[in-house]
């Protein structure tokens, strides 16, 4: 009986906050597009109440259901409008019942300037970091990172994980060797279930290796150990073949304690592209070709307009203003 009452009050709360959000939206004025993504089909907009209260509305087209009945309903309700027809190929704009073609959204209100800035799409710029730039600019940036809260959060998560004070049950595999060992664990962004989006991190036990810049051919045993044992553990636990896993470092990484990303080849993960990711196999290959490759190489990567590292490169005259 008590449970029922609780459920009822939860439902009432939900419908009340739903009604409030609906009313907020109805009286809101459209102010500007903060960003849009035509490949992922999303739109971020800023709204404002007549009172001046701000809100952010994030809209994402939903994915198609692959459930048989949903597909049949979609076909049955489809109304075609022909755009062009050429031989057997016809292009149509299709309208379907709104309940099978929804939009996923997040409405954030009241929103302050910081939240609005977070969703404002920023331009990116490419930095080409020479070995000298790394020493004179990037190293200083890395030191200042220790004071950055987001980075702190990551580093604390990593050290807790390595000390097995957190998420010990999530560890997929561990090689405890102090010099060449590592812990393999699902990335915080992965649910651990959906294999299509498999995303696993190998985090080394050794301290003081900040990124691929610190690697020399002396570290080949570490890198080959990570590659071979991680791919075997992923095969064992998730039944994904080693030639269907993309393994890479980020450069620049989001935190400066060496780690490798292992991601399902099917998954187009954020920051897995050129100018963000460097393949583990390429790093191994480069160190075989030149023992001090990463002490000499120019490495390219992109940064957002408001990024501190970009500003440091501009201040040093090493980037276009």
Q: Give 66 or 113: the residue with its C-beta nearer to a second copy.
A: 66
- DSSP-assigned beta bridge partners for residue 35: 44
Q: Which stretch binds a second copy (CB under 8 A): 99-107, 139-147, 148-156, 173-181?
A: 99-107
303 phi, psi to nearest 5 deg = -135, 150
Give exposure, 49-64, as e/b (b: 16+ Cβ within 10 Å). eeeeebbbbbeeeeee
In the set 1, 3, 5, 38, which binds a second copy (CB under 8 A)?
Answer: 38
Residue 192 Cα distances to 172, 237, 259, angstroms: 10, 11, 18
Compute the C-alpha angle 148/153/158, nearest 5°: 125
- Rounded to a whole number of angstroms, the minimum distance from the CB of residue 251 to a second copy is 11
Residue 293 as a binder of a second copy (CB under 8 A): the answer is: yes
Candidate list 40, 179, 205, 259, residue with the active-site label: 259
In the set 143, 144, 160, 285, which binds a second copy (CB under 8 A)?
Answer: 285
Binding residues for substrate: 157, 167, 187, 189, 250-261
Q: Give 168 or 316: the residue with its C-beta nearer to a second copy.
A: 316
In the set 213, 229, 246, 259, which binds a second copy (CB under 8 A)?
Answer: 246
Q: Give 205 or 318: the residue with its C-beta nearer to a second copy.
A: 318
The 148-167 site mask, x for binding a second copy (CB under 8 A), equals --------------------
Residue 51 as a binder of a second copy (CB under 8 A): the answer is: no
259 as an active site residue: the answer is yes
Residue 24 Cα distances to 48, 224, 293, 319, angstroms: 9, 56, 57, 44
Can you read off the two tokens belonging to residue 228?
Answer: 């071979």
Q: Which residue bears the tokens 């060449």?
A: 180
Residue 109 as a binder of a second copy (CB under 8 A): the answer is: yes
Report cis status (omega within 30 of 0) of the bond before 85. no
Residue 108 as a binder of a second copy (CB under 8 A): the answer is: yes
In the set 1, 3, 39, 218, which binds a second copy (CB under 8 A)?
Answer: 39
Contact 209, 256 (CB under 8 A): no
Active site residues: 259
């Amino acid at each position: 009986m008590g449970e029922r009452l609780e459920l009822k009050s939860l439902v009432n709360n939900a419908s009340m906050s739903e009604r409030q959000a609906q009313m907020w939206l109805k009286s809101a004025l459209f102010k500007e597009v903060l960003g849009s993504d035509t490949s992922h089909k999303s739109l971020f907009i800023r709204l404002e109440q007549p009172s001046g209260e701000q809100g952010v509305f994030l809209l994402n087209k939903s994915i198609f259901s692959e459930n048989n009945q949903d597909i049949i309903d979609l076909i049955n309700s489809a109304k075609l409008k022909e755009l062009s027809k050429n031989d057997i190929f016809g292009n149509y704009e299709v309208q379907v019942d709104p309940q099978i073609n929804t939009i996923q959204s997040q409405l954030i209100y009241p929103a302050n300037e910081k939240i609005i800035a977070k969703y404002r799409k920023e331009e990116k710029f490419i930095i080409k970091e020479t070995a000298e730039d790394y020493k004179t600019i990037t190293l200083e940036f890395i030191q200042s990172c220790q004071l950055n809260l987001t980075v702190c959060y990551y580093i604390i998560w990593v050290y807790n994980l390595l000390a097995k004070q957190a998420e010990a049950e999530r560890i997929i595999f561990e090689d405890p060797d102090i010099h060449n060992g590592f812990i393999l664990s699902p990335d915080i962004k992965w649910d651990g279930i959906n294999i299509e989006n498999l995303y696993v991190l190998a985090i080394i036990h050794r301290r003081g290796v900040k990124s691929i810049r610190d690697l020399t051919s002396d570290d080949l045993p570490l890198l080959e150990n990570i590659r071979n044992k991680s791919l075997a553990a992923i095969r064992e636990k998730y039944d994904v073949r080693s030639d269907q896993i993309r393994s890479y470092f980020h450069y620049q990484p989001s935190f400066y304690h060496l780690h490798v990303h292992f991601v399902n080849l099917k998954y187009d993960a954020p920051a897995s592209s050129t100018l963000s990711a460097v393949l583990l196999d390429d790093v191994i290959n480069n160190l075989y070709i030149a023992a001090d490759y990463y002490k000499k190489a120019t490495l390219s990567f992109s940064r957002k307009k408001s990024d501190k590292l970009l500003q440091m490169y501009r201040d040093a005259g090493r980037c276009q203003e």
